[in-house]
Amino acid sequence: MTKLHELFDQQGQSPWIDNLKRAFLTSGRLAELVGQGVRGVTSNPTIFAKAIEGGDDYDDQYRGLTEKMSVDEAYWELVIDDIINALGVLRPLYDSSGGTDGFVSLEVAPALAHDTDASIEAARTLHSRIDSPNLFVKIPGTAEGVPAIRQMISEGRNINVTLIFSLERYGEVIEAYLSGLEELVTTKGADLSRVASVASFFVSRVDTEVDRRLEAVAEQLGGSRAERALALRGKAAVAQAKLAYRIYQERFSGARWEALAAKGAHVQRPLWASTSTKNPQYADLAYVNSLIGPNTVNTMPDATLDDFLDHGVVARTVDKTASEAQKVLDELGELGVDMADVAHTLEDEGVAAFAKSFDELLQRLSDKANSLSADK
């Protein structure tokens, strides 16, 4: 029994790992992690870029693929192979949990983040190619992504909504899930218990951006207001996440939700993402220990997962001090920190960072294809 087991058994939070690479699969490491209490896997273009560029694990397969397809097509073959193998490792957990855990997430191409129709088509393609009940296709929670998410849910497809940075957008994502389920059951009479979704609320990046703005405010104002601004550093991200959980509790209760639950619907769990600490002055588990509670997921990179196994504190915290969380956001507003603008900035940066990783990886894969061809 590890602290990850305790996290789920005692508090109802599912610990996932935010990493996937070929070596995890060939060495049996992913199976070991599942044995330690990991209940799901998330990936993104940056993670796959590091995996593919980080060694020669993919070279033999890639060499054969480039002889018969484009670099872009070869990339998807490499990634989908990893996803399928990971899905196999997690499938027993998916079955034993009644379809509530054991998921592996794969993101649509980052360039589609602002294209609703293309996101829908890409998500359909990935679900069709992989065809596994424990696959989550990730669609960014952009303004254009929200209607794509609703459409996918209405088709009975599992979706991980990624890159959520604001309470307003989170509310829109929940509405997309609920209305998608309503359409699914109304038009198709489908079994809603076969549909799952998580809403990935990004955490640490919020503090990085808000802290930067608070320091600028302090420099501009000086005096007691500067002290007040600096005292708020490191508080915005957890405060906003706690308020997101309150929204979750409100929206997944009452007559509308109960009607869907009666037809087998699962709640759309909040998933805390970007939970490694970016500021070395903050506690290593600042975004884990503070956000523990039922029907949530925390996806952690390797180091954060190891830290929690070593010295994490298993206690319900996510819905404690919600009134204080609101005060933090109110104070930020009084100091001129616009959380809507923070979210807009972070969303743009998040989409751009994934797109950059994806494009750079394709360029390196193209260079590698030329190198492998020259070595023949």
Q: What distance in Å separates the CA atoms of residue 166 and residue 305, rounded to the nearest whole number?
A: 25
User: Residues 21, 138, 235, 368: which is the catalytic one?
Assistant: 138
Our answer to whether residue 138 is catalytic in this structure is yes
Spatial neighbors of 70 by CB under 8 A, at least 6 apart, are: none
Dihedral angle over CA of 360, 366, 371, 376, nearest 10? 150
Spatial neighbors of 35 by CB under 8 A, at least 6 apart, are: none
> Phi/psi zone of residue 12: left (φ > 0), alpha (ψ -120 to 50 degrees), beta?
left
Active site residues: 138
